[in-house]
Amino acid sequence: MRALGLDVGSKTIGVAVSDPSGTIATPREVLTRRGHAEDAAAVAALVRTLEVRDVVVGLPLELDGSVGHRARQVQRFLAALEPALAELPGSPRAWTWDERFSTAGAERALLQADVSRARRKQVIDAAAAQFILQGWLDGQRRKDMSKEAGS
C-alpha cells in the first residue's frame, strides 16, 4: 500500500511517498503551484507513476481545530484533486490529516540533523509532507492493530 503525502501551501506543494509496505514516509520533491486544476493533474500523474493507493493531504486547521482560510484553500484544492484521482486505475482515495505543527516538527527534525539554513528552505515543504504522511501511516497501523485486538 504505497501512499503519497502532500503539504499544500500557497506557492508550493511538498510531496512525500511511502515505501510499498506503507511503513515509512520519505520526502520526495516540491512542486510549484500553478492553480488547482494543474496542481491536481501533476499530483495525479505522480499517483499513476508511483502506483499510489492513498493520497494524504495535510489540512491546516486553526489551533482551536476550526477550519480557517488556509484550510478552505486546501479544501478547494481537494475538490479539484478528487475527480482527477477518480479517473485513475484503482481509483486512489484522498484523505485529509490534521497538519497542525507539521512544518514546526519538520523544521525541528532538520535542525537536529544539522541541515543548513539554505538547504532547509529548499526541503522544508517535502519534509513537512513526510511528517504529515508518517502521522497518517502510523494512525492507520494503530487502527489496524486495534481491529486485530478486538477480533
Number of domains in the chain: 1
CATH code assigned at 117: 3.30.420.140
Residue-level pLDDT at 115: 60
Q: Give the pTM.
A: 0.85
Give, for all 151 residues of the chain, the pLDDT tens digit.
799 999 999 999 999 999 999 999 999 999 999 999 999 999 999 999 999 999 999 999 888 888 999 999 999 999 999 999 999 999 899 999 988 766 666 667 666 766 666 665 556 788 889 989 999 999 888 776 766 666 5
Domain of residue 70: give its range.
3-150
Residues 131 and 51: their CA atoms lie apart, in Å, by: 21
